[in-house]
């Protein structure tokens, strides 16, 4: 799987996005997630099943003008 441009091995089959984010230590309330180009609403984190060919973008706010 590619996460924010870097290769990442999934820990097993049928890993759910919500569990993956917890395992990796992302701050749930502070992120937005794009899964294969589609923005995942927060309510769907528990339903999205990840596979090794997926691409994830995990973004947050930073300082900017």
Partner 1 sequence: MKEDKLVIGNHEFDSRFILGSGKYSLDLIDAAVKHAGAQIITLALRRTTTDDAANILDYIPEGITLLPNTSGARTAEEAVRIAKLSRELGCGDFVKVEVIHDSKYLLPDNYETIKATEMLAKEGFIVMPYMYPDLNAARDLVNAGASAIMPLGAPIGSNKGLCTKDFIQILIDEIDLPIIVDAGIGKPSQACEAMEMGAAAVMANTAIATAGDIPAMAGAFKHAIEAGRTAYLAGLGRVIEKGGSASSPLTGFLKN
Binding residue (CB under 8 A) for partner 1 from 9, 25, 43, 53: 25
**What is the phi-psi region of residue 4: left when phi exceeds 0, alpha when psi lies from -120 to 50, beta otherwise?**
left
Rule CB under 8 A: is residue 9 a binding residue for partner 1?
A: no
Q: Is 22 in the site for partner 1 (CB under 8 A)?
A: no
Question: Quick one: which of 63, 3, 6, 1 has its CA closest to 33?
Answer: 3
**Selected binder of partner 1 within 12, 13, 43, 64 (CB under 8 A):** 64
Options 9, 43, 53, 61; binder of partner 1; rule CB under 8 A: 61
């Amino acid at each position: 799987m590619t996460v924010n441009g870097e290769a990442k091995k999934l820990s097993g089959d049928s890993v759910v996005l919500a569990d993956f984010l917890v395992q990796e230590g992302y701050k749930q309330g502070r992120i937005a997630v794009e899964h294969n180009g589609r923005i995942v609403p927060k309510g769907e984190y528990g339903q999205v099943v990840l596979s090794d060919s997926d691409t994830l973008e995990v973004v947050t706010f930073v300082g900017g003008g």
